[in-house]
Amino acid sequence: MIEVKNLSKSFMGKSILRNINGTFEQGKVNMIIGASGTGKSVLLKSIVGLYPPEEGEVLFNGRSFYDCELKMQKEIRQEIGMLFQGSALFDSKTVAQNVKFPLDMLTDYSESEKEDRVADILKRVGLEHAHHKMPSEISGGMQKRVGIARAIINNSKYLFCDEPNSGLDPQTSILIDGLIREITLEYNTTTVVVSHDMNSVLEIGDHIIFLYKGDKIWEGPNTEITKAEPESLQQFISANKLLRAMVAEENKKR
């Protein structure tokens, strides 16, 4: 579980996030949603230790990341897997070398152990035939799969995904969403996904945090989102045709 407590962040005196509180549970897909520029990525980066906040704390299973010894911080960092926006694969490395990278950096496994793990994980994400391909030779959806495999290869307890569907067509987005959900359940990870894709929210969002201009406006399960009151959230939702229809149905029942 990850707990964010009273977190505030600004850049050069400009307030970006104000007093954010939220809980991200294990074995669930937790989503941070909101319009462009509202602070989603800054929140994600503050949680994973890239942007230290001015105020507040982030607890990883009770361990305060910004208020613990360097050794513990390193330990927590090793438990974090990250799928970056745009996948961020090394162009000059093969698929297998990309996936193996965290094991090379963080473990002292033997080469054959590493290769076995890479083979297992690539099979799990449906890329058993792509070991020797270069990132430029595979599709955007396959690149995301490689990014997911790399994020979880070292048995990550916490999986962070920044806009996992960016640049993907709707059908591939559904497949990637499905994979994130399956991995979350199978590996019992605490998964945090940043997105502004309402289809993803409906597909996989067990728990949602909605940000609006740096404030947390609403928190709850995706099953409740169409009934949520805040106007800023209603406006965000109504950009999606399907959700507009669902909200209209909800209103009819009232």
CB closer to ligand ATP, 65 vs 210: 210
Rounded to the nearest whole angstrom, what is the least distance from the CB of residue 131 to ligand ATP in the complex? 32
d(CA 230, CA 210): 10
CB of 200 to ligand ATP, least distance (A): 13
Binding stretches for ligand ATP (CB under 6 A) = 11, 16, 34, 36-42, 196
Task: Give CB contacts under 8 A, 24+ apart, made by 180-184.
Answer: 180/29, 180/148, 180/204, 181/29, 183/124, 183/148, 183/152, 183/159, 184/27, 184/28, 184/29, 184/159
The residue among 87 and 94 lying less far from ligand ATP, judged by its C-beta, is: 87
Closer CB to ligand ATP, residue 33 or residue 228? 33
Neighbouring-strand partners of residue 9:
17
Q: What sign for the dihedral angle of Cα 82, 176, 144, 9?
A: negative
Q: Work out how close the CB of 37 gets to ligand ATP at its nearest, in angstroms, rounded to a whole number.
A: 5
Q: Which residues of 82-103 are buried (b: 16+ CB within 10 A; e: fewer)?
A: bbebebebeeeebbbbbbbbbb
Which CB sits closer to ligand ATP, 2 or 142?
2
Question: CA 74, CA 105: separation in Å to the nearest integer?
Answer: 13
Give 14 or 253: the residue with its C-beta nearer to ligand ATP.
14
The minimum distance between CB 214 and ligand ATP, in angstroms, equals: 8
Closest CB to ligand ATP among residues 2, 16: 16
CA atoms of 111 and 133, how far apart (whole Å): 20
In this structure, are residues 2 and 76 in contact, taking their beta carbons and an 8 Å threshold? no
Shortest distance, CB of residue 177 to ligand ATP, whole angstroms?
17
Least distance in Å: CB of 154 to ligand ATP?
Answer: 26
